[in-house]
Structure 1
Amino acid sequence: MDEEEGKNELQPVKTNQSIADSFSVPREITFVIITCMSQFITQANVGICLSPLDIVGASFGLSNGPELAWFLAGYSLTVGTFILVFGRCGDLFGYRRMFVIGFLWLSLWSLVAGLSVYSNHILFIFARVLQGLGPAMLLPNGLAILGATYAPGRKKDMIFALFGATAPNGAIVGAVFAAIFSEFAWWPWTYWSMAIVSIVCAGIGYLVIEPIRHSKPTDNAFVSLDIPGAFTGITGLVLVNIAWNQAPAVTWAEPYVIVLLILGALFLAAFFVVEFKYAKHPLIPFHAFSADVSFVLACVATGWGCFGTWIFYSWRFLLDTRGISPLLASAQFSPPCVSGLVASCVTGLLMSRIRPAWIMCMSLTAFTLGTVLITIAPVHQTYWALTFVSLVIIPWGMDMSFPAATLMLSNAVKREHQGLAASLVTTVVNYSISLSLGFAGTVESQIVHGDSPEERLRGYRSALYFAIGLGGLGLCISVLYTARSYMKSPRSAPSSSSSSSSSSKTAA
């Protein structure tokens, strides 16, 4: 990763010739596995937080739901807010370089998260927040590496489907190992193990991934990275998110919460001014976006906001209300592994046969219906009734929405902005998960009066009702978008697989 590497960097695939054609079979298998690990590890860090949530909270003397929500919200916050910036860094400085740095960074802060057991919950949350910067480097650059290494075709489509299918598997594997360490050993080993795995992935990634750069090196990184836009945008998003996620824990009566929210809004306003008037290389080229982009991102935000609330409060329902162990809860959360894989394959087949807008409608239906089922599930009902069905349905929302949204954005922007699509969708996905927990926590805090099991259940269900509202809103938006797509081009054929392949190249 020195200057000589920069001179020898390969260019992304633009024809049917594939960089992967030069790989031996063992190297290509290792390459695909290690690149997909970026998605797997990202979601595993969600799972390792959820299953031992009460055990970790108890070690810090915490039992308050809104405070525990920070363990997940802090991580998703930084994953969502930094993806676009680190995607741009990959374009400028090399995808492999950013990919390896992402794993090394994740390893460092996983180590700190485990060591926080000797300190307090503030250090743990701080470490979780900084952990999120690692996946923010891994996701866009992992997608970019795959997109640049493989030429459009069926192999590329299948590899991207595999990349998406690792998400639910990563979350479940993370939850299982976290439960095992927490119940039978010591919970910090969950994070120390993550540090070891990340170090190994960084080393293997450096060996098997070709150094690829999308853009030519520049002497003026300040201009190319759009530092003013990145600073104002990230600061605004972080402050708004902190305000919403902190308010349920300390109430909106705290003056500093209101101050943070106002400052966040001002920074976001400054971001739009910088992007529209002053940035030569804007982080988000709003001028290139059509109205379709707003529809797509609104669907993604509401759907994944619904999912973020569903996953946190479903775990609370199983662990706290039903009182099952973290390991059993992890086992009960295993259906998404199979269901998500099936959903990814079906989505890959549907993308070339029907309009992506219809797939988005199906996705929002799955998000909403899955949340309804867990919300109305009786406490003492068998797992195999509503809970199991909810866990089977929800992955269809996850694994249908991301590829559909990426393709829809790809079709809505000009060719020179294709690389923005996947990064923008990933940003909205992760930020929506984090922000929705703040919204849901506010709803919960207004409903709950006391700490009895009945009151806590009322709080969980009130938060899930909010999630149903988000999913329903997204479903309405997706229906409107579908109708609009028919009004614009009533006879247009569904996107071809080649279009899907082209969109698969989007990253960073």
Structure 2
Amino acid sequence: METTPAPNAAPSLTTTVAETDGPDNTKTTTPEAPLAQLPSIQKNVLWRSSVLATTSSAVGLTESDSVWLFAAYQATFAGFLLISGRISDIYGPKPAFVVGSLFFGATSLGAGFLSNRIALLVLRALQGVGASHTIPSALSMIVQMFPESSKQHRAIGLFGASGAIGNVLGTIVGAILVQYTSWRWIFWVIAIVSIPSATACIFLIPKTTGRKGAKVSQLDFIGISLLIAAIVILVYALTTGSVAGWRSGGVLAPFFVSIALFVAFFVWETRVDESNAALPPKLWFYPNFAVLFGTALMPYFWWMQMYLTYSPYWQDYLHWSTIITGVKFLPLGLLSGPIMMNGGHIASIGRPKLLIVSGLILAIIATIMLPFSARLSDRYWPLVFPAFIIGSTGTAVVFVLTNISIFRTTPPEYAGTVGAVFNSALQLGGAIGSSATASIQASTDMRVVRDGTFDGTHFQGRAAALWFLLAWVGLVAIGVLVFYKADKTPANDVEGKEVDEKKPVVH
């Protein structure tokens, strides 16, 4: 049962030591901090609040095209997550974690020296490749290093809370760096932290075991290639639609090609040996796995949309400084820390379905408030501030409960793969959702000018994007209400009682 860090979140860098039960019931100490540090740092200080608008302007990306700064990273992250989970299961999580972290740090270092937008997007994509190898391996190491349930919960709580702490830390650090240095230092700080931390992990993280007799030929490179190509082409089609027109061949052709590639990916996964598949078809038949996968498409999209909507608006039209903009985003992380830290306790107070739906209802309430936050900066306190707190709280509950539930419904030996699938769904939802809203916003902005209905707020397109987000969250809520079967017994549960994690039950 696991949680992962909140989106774009970075942890505290203090070292935590936790006790684990040795094979002879003696107590041993295990350095826990490295597990929490790199995966969340990699997604944190980079893209918070003011950084998006400043970096986009510096490299010549329009507001509608700035979504590629997210999407380039997320496309490769989501695709390679699946194969990195398999690498973690086969070869052991420690090598994947260390190599991925070092690669991420190196590409971050290089990105800080670039000025060409295409080259920067390529480096962002390569960052996604490196980062994708850290989260499944970190999750797998937690499972191996903390096999006893209560201690595993504490380790997971710290892992998740580190992300929520970074939600606040990254916002402020990113704003200060951009305000007083330049956007390049966003990348360089990541490299400065990632490379030494990854090197330290070589010595601090205990040796982990993988599957014997593993071979490179067992990795599903064809499946991953199909998936990444499908994601990139779909994002291209969505972001191009607002400019070329939704009925143009330049949009319809890549859209249908991406659909065909998604179909080809799922067909291929049924043909390849299940032990080698990036996304084993068997997973879809575990209770509630499919609906939990669909639910995971929502959290990162909701959080990302807040930054995509308000960061450029506050800076370009309300003329707030980068630091003020960063401070205004702090409510998004205000309650995430306690929720992440106490994810196991929250999961124990009620049925997962009820808790997930409750979180979705909070997100719906908050999203309804946001389209009315245009015109005046004084609407921040009566509308945006409470919406950020309510919506982020609900989204954090959905995030934690979906994560815990998806691991409960699958056998522990699939921990690395399931962690990869879950995080891939998070990234996939963010990439596709934000691409769609960017296109909706651009199309609406052009239409109101053409039709003479522009109201001077520069928020009509953003409001349309937020209504789309509301529809997305509502659809997820309906899916959970209809398809989540509360009476299904999870793979990690026998007659409602948790089994010993050391003795997985395989269905």
> 1:137 is aligned with what amino acid?
H
> 1:70 is aligned with what amino acid?
W
Give runs of aligned pairs for residues 3-402 of structure 1, distance below 5 A. Answer: 17=22, 24=29, 28=30, 31-48=31-48, 50-62=49-61, 64-117=62-115, 120-218=116-214, 220-222=215-217, 224-248=218-242, 251-252=245-246, 255-281=249-275, 282-290=277-285, 292-378=288-374, 379-402=376-399
> 2:139 is aligned with what amino acid?
L
Of stretches 51-60 and 242-251 in structure 1, the one that deviates more from structure 2 is: 242-251
Distance in 2, matches of 1:221 and 1:493, equals 36
Contact 1:306/1:368 (<8 A) preserved: no
Change (3 A) 1:20 1:310: farther
Contact 2:46/2:174 (<8 A) preserved: no
Query: Residue 468 of structure 1: CA displacement?
Result: 0.8
> 1:271 is aligned with what amino acid?
F
Of stretches 82-91 and 359-368 in structure 1, the one that deviates more from structure 2 is: 359-368
Query: Residue 112 of structure 1: CA displacement?
Result: 2.1
> 2:369 is aligned with what amino acid?
L
Change (3 A) 1:19 1:255: farther
| Deviation readout 1:296-334 (Å, 9 max, x if unpaired) | 222222444333323321323433343211111211222
SS in 2 for 1:448: helix
Query: Residue 19 of structure 1: CA displacement?
Result: 11
Distance in 1, matches of 2:466 and 2:256, equals 27
Query: Residue 381 of structure 1: CA displacement?
Result: 2.2
Contact 1:36/1:142 (<8 A) preserved: yes
SS in 2 for 1:289: helix
Query: Residue 51 of structure 1: CA displacement?
Result: 1.5
Query: Residue 469 of structure 1: CA displacement?
Result: 0.9
Query: Residue 92 of structure 1: CA displacement?
Result: 2.1
Change (3 A) 1:206 1:18: farther
Change (3 A) 1:407 1:342: closer
Contact 2:22/2:28 (<8 A) preserved: no
Give runs of aligned pairs for residues 383-422 of structure 1, distance below 5 A. Answer: 383-413=380-410, 417-422=414-419
| Matching residue of 2:458 | 456
SS in 1 for 2:288: helix
Distance in 2, matches of 1:375 and 1:305, equals 16
Query: Residue 77 of structure 1: CA displacement?
Result: 2.1
Contact 1:51/1:315 (<8 A) preserved: yes
Contact 1:321/1:457 (<8 A) preserved: no
| Deviation readout 1:447-489 (Å, 9 max, x if unpaired) | 112598936311111111110111111122222245x425999
Contact 2:84/2:96 (<8 A) preserved: yes
Contact 2:336/2:396 (<8 A) preserved: yes
Change (3 A) 1:100 1:411: closer
TM-score, length of structure 1 as denominator length: 0.84
Query: Residue 68 of structure 1: CA displacement?
Result: 1.4
Distance in 2, matches of 1:304 and 1:257, equals 25
Contact 2:269/2:278 (<8 A) preserved: yes
Contact 2:302/2:395 (<8 A) preserved: no
Change (3 A) 1:324 1:61: same
> Which of 420, 435, 440 is the matching residue for 1:438?
435
Segments of structure 1 that go 5 or more residues without pairing to the other structure are 1-14
Change (3 A) 1:426 1:182: same
Query: Residue 139 of structure 1: CA displacement?
Result: 0.8
Contact 1:305/1:436 (<8 A) preserved: yes
RMSD between aligned residues: 3.1
Query: Residue 75 of structure 1: CA displacement?
Result: 1.8
SS in 1 for 2:381: coil
Change (3 A) 1:304 1:364: farther
Contact 2:445/2:460 (<8 A) preserved: yes
Q: Which has the higher helix share?
A: 1
Segments of structure 2 that go 5 or more residues without pairing to the other structure are 1-19
Distance in 1, matches of 2:97 and 2:343, equals 27
Contact 1:19/1:150 (<8 A) preserved: no
> 1:147 is aligned with what amino acid?
V
The total of aligned residue pairs comes to 475
